[in-house]
Amino acid sequence: EKHLDTVVQKNKSQKVVYIYSKELIQICDQMQKIPCRASMVHSLIEAYGLTRYMRVVEPREATEREVNAFHDLDYIEFLKKISNHDDSEKFEDEATHYGLSYDCPLQLGLHKYATMSSGATIVAAECLLQETCKVAINWCGGWHHAAKDHASGFCYINDIVLGILKLKEKYDRILYVDLDLHHGDGVEDAFSATSKVMTVSFHKYLTGFFPGTGSLEDIGIGKGQYYTVNVPLLDGIKDTEFTPLVCRILNKVKETFRPEVVVCQCGADGLAGDPMESFNLTHKGLGKCLYFLLQWNLPTLVLGGGGYNLSNTARCWAFLTALATGKQIPTEIPDHKYFIEYGPDYELEVYPGNRKNHNTAHYLRQVYGAVLNNISKIC
Task: Give the catalytic positions in this structure.
Answer: 145
Is the CB of 299 or the CB of 305 nearer to Zn ion?
305
Q: Which range binds Zn ion by CB under 5 A, 19-27, 96-104, 125-133, 176-184?
A: 176-184
Asked if 195 contacts 223 with a C-beta cutoff of 8 angstroms, the reply is yes
Asked if 253 contacts 200 with a C-beta cutoff of 8 angstroms, the reply is yes
Closest separation in Å from C-beta 291 to ligand NHB = 22
| CA distance to 93, 275, 314, per residue, from 353 (Å) | 42, 13, 18
182 lines the binding site for Zn ion (CB under 5 A): yes
185 lines the binding site for Zn ion (CB under 5 A): no
Closest separation in Å from C-beta 143 to ligand NHB = 8
From the list 126, 178, 180, 218, which residue makes contact with Zn ion (rule: CB under 5 A)? 180
214 lines the binding site for Zn ion (CB under 5 A): no
Asked if 231 contacts 371 with a C-beta cutoff of 8 angstroms, the reply is yes
Look at residue 166 and give the partner it binds from ligand NHB, Zn ion, none, a contact being a CB closer than 5 to 8 Å depending on partner kind.
none
Amino acid at 56: V
Number of residues that bind Zn ion (CB under 5 A): 6
Closest separation in Å from C-beta 325 to ligand NHB = 25
H-assigned helices in 98-238: 110-129, 159-167, 185-191
Interacting residue ranges for ligand NHB, rule: CB under 6 A: 103, 145, 153-154, 180, 182, 210, 267, 269, 275-276, 305-306, 308
267 lines the binding site for Zn ion (CB under 5 A): yes
224 lines the binding site for Zn ion (CB under 5 A): no
What does the alpha-carbon distance between residue 281 and residue 237 come to, in Å, rounded to a whole number?
7
Is the CB of 162 or the CB of 266 nearer to Zn ion?
266
Q: Do β-strands 174-178 and 135-138 pair in parallel, antiparallel, or remain unpaired?
A: unpaired
Is the CB of 212 or the CB of 369 nearer to ligand NHB?
212
Look at residue 273 and give the partner it binds from ligand NHB, Zn ion, none, a contact being a CB closer than 5 to 8 Å depending on partner kind.
none
What does the alpha-carbon distance between residue 225 and residue 375 come to, in Å, rounded to a whole number?
10
Asked if 152 contacts 175 with a C-beta cutoff of 8 angstroms, the reply is no
Closest separation in Å from C-beta 53 to ligand NHB = 29
Q: Which range binds Zn ion by CB under 5 A, 8-16, 72-80, 268-276, 342-350?
A: 268-276
From the list 186, 306, 316, 329, which residue makes contact with Zn ion (rule: CB under 5 A)? 306
CA angle (47, 48, 49) in 5-degree steps: 85
Asked if 133 contacts 17 with a C-beta cutoff of 8 angstroms, the reply is yes
Look at residue 210 and give the partner it binds from Zn ion, ligand NHB, none, a contact being a CB closer than 5 to 8 Å depending on partner kind.
ligand NHB
- For the purposes of burial, counting CB atoms within 10 Å of the CB of 365, is it exposed (0-12), middle (13-18) or buried (19 or more)? exposed
What does the alpha-carbon distance between residue 125 and residue 139 come to, in Å, rounded to a whole number?
13
Is the CB of 259 or the CB of 307 nearer to ligand NHB?
307
Look at residue 153 and give the partner it binds from Zn ion, ligand NHB, none, a contact being a CB closer than 5 to 8 Å depending on partner kind.
ligand NHB
Closest separation in Å from C-beta 64 to ligand NHB = 26
Q: In this structure, what DSSP letter does residue 224 have?
A: G
Which strands make up the sheet holding 174-178, listed edge to edge? 54-57, 16-19, 135-138, 300-303, 261-265, 174-178, 197-204, 228-233
What does the alpha-carbon distance between residue 95 and residue 113 come to, in Å, rounded to a whole number?
17
Look at residue 208 and give the partner it binds from ligand NHB, Zn ion, none, a contact being a CB closer than 5 to 8 Å depending on partner kind.
none
What does the alpha-carbon distance between residue 296 and residue 305 come to, in Å, rounded to a whole number?
23
181 lines the binding site for Zn ion (CB under 5 A): yes
Q: Which of 32, 25, 48, 36 is nearest to 315 (CA)?
A: 48
Look at residue 260 and give the partner it binds from Zn ion, ligand NHB, none, a contact being a CB closer than 5 to 8 Å depending on partner kind.
none
Write out the residues near Zn ion by the rule CB under 5 A. 180-182, 267, 269, 306
